[in-house]
Amino acid sequence: AHQAQAFTSVFNGEDLTGWQGAVDNYEVVDGAIRCKDGHGGLLLVDKEYSNFIARVEFRLPPGGNNGLAIRSPGDGDAAYSGMCELQVLDSEHEKYAKLDTRQYHGSAYGMAAAHRGFLRPTGEWNFQEVTVDGSTIRVELNGSVILNTDLSKVTEFMAERPHPGKDRTSGFFGFAGHNDPVEFR
């Protein structure tokens, strides 16, 4: 029988104790981690993970863009040097109308497209659960599975740019900010 594992909070709701990386580019506001407007970079939990389940709530500003770094080595571009960057994006914003399908919210950036249409309206909190098990990633957004993929089987990449980190078996988890005040809790 499979035993249910208890979840451990990696955020104390008050400051960035236990986090590393671009700590100066993020702030804690009203119990949430927010990427400072005009800033970004990797903010990572200071512990490595292999297989894990992460539960996170996030709130997007209009046109907001961030990402969940999965098995990051701790530096470089999370989408390429890590296993993947799971896109956190206001997918319905007009400025993103012509993206590759592998760039929308919940997608394993540049590798596997997520199902669209499950984000709550901009400014509302969304709930997402990410399960990383071996080479598979499952993303559930607001109760609907939007991605369930095995990255070891991905052979075609956006813009034919390979993802050398996609087969990593462990690494850091965190946020990959792209200059927008996206919030997480």
Sorted by where each starts, the structural domains of the chain and their CATH numbers stand as 41-178 (2.60.120.560)
Per-residue confidence (pLDDT) for residue 6, from 0 to 100: 84
Distance CA 32, CA 184 (A): 5
Per-residue confidence (pLDDT) for residue 1, from 0 to 100: 56
**Do the bridges between strand 32-35 and strand 26-29 make them parallel or antiparallel, or are there none, so unpaired?**
antiparallel
pLDDT tens, position by position, 36-66? 999 999 999 999 999 999 999 999 999 999 9
Distance CA 119, CA 139 (A): 13
Distances (CA, A) of 169 to 83, 130, 158: 8, 16, 22
Is residue 176 pLDDT above 70, yes or no?
yes
Distances (CA, A) of 119 to 17, 114, 116: 30, 12, 8
Residue that has been written with the tokens 């946020």 in this structure:
175
The residue-averaged pLDDT of 144-149 equals: 99
> pLDDT > 70: what percent of the chain?
98
pTM: 0.95
pLDDT band for position 119 (cuts 50, 70, 90): very high
The CB density around residue 178, as the number of other CB atoms within 10 Å, is: 18
Per-residue confidence (pLDDT) for residue 4, from 0 to 100: 63
Per-residue confidence (pLDDT) for residue 130, from 0 to 100: 98
Q: Which residues contact 9 (CB under 8 A, 6 or more apart)?
A: none
Rounded to the nearest 10°, the torsion over CA 99, 103, 104, 108 is: 160
Give bridge partners of residue 172 from the DSSP assignment. Answer: 48, 72
- From its phi and psi, is residue 42 left (phi > 0), alpha (psi between -120 and 50) or beta? beta
Per-residue confidence (pLDDT) for residue 3, from 0 to 100: 58
